[in-house]
Amino acid sequence: MSLGGGGGGGGGQMQEMAAQLEELEQTREALEAEVQGLQGEKRDIDDAVEALEELESGSTVQVPLGGGAYVRAEVQDIDEITITLGSDYAAERDSDGAIETLESKRDTLDDRIEELRSDIAELESESDELEQRMEQARAQQMQQLQQGE
Asked whether residue 76 is domain-assigned, the answer is yes
Asked whether residue 72 is domain-assigned, the answer is yes
Q: For the residues 102-115, what does the mean pLDDT come to?
A: 97
Residue 9: per-residue pLDDT: 52
Count of the separate structural domains present in the chain: 1
Higher local confidence (pLDDT), 78 or 1: 78
Report which of 33, 87, 73, 79 is spatially closest to residue 56, judged by C-alpha positions.
Answer: 79
- Domain of residue 114 covers 34-131
Asked whether residue 19 is domain-assigned, the answer is no
Count helices and strands in the chain by DSSP H and E runs: 2, 4
Q: For the residues 58-82, what does the mean pLDDT come to?
A: 91
**What CATH code is carried by the domain that includes residue 66?**
1.10.287.370
Taking a C-beta distance cutoff of 8 angstroms, is the pair 58, 74 a contact? Answer: yes
Q: How far apart are CA 3 and CA 17, in angstroms?
A: 9
Indicate the pLDDT class of residue 5, thresholds 50, 70 and 90: very low
Backbone phi and psi for residue 4, each to the nearest 5 degrees, phi listed first: 100, -170
Asked whether residue 141 is domain-assigned, the answer is no
Asked whether residue 9 is domain-assigned, the answer is no
Indicate the pLDDT class of residue 111, thresholds 50, 70 and 90: very high
Residue 23: per-residue pLDDT: 95
Asked whether residue 3 is domain-assigned, the answer is no
Asked whether residue 21 is domain-assigned, the answer is no
Taking a C-beta distance cutoff of 8 angstroms, is the pair 3, 17 a contact? Answer: yes
DSSP letter at 42 equals H
Asked whether residue 74 is domain-assigned, the answer is yes
pTM: 0.75
Residues 117-135 have pLDDT tens digits of: 999 999 999 999 999 999 9
Residues 23-47 have pLDDT tens digits of: 999 999 999 999 999 999 999 999 9
Mean pLDDT of the chain, nearest integer: 89
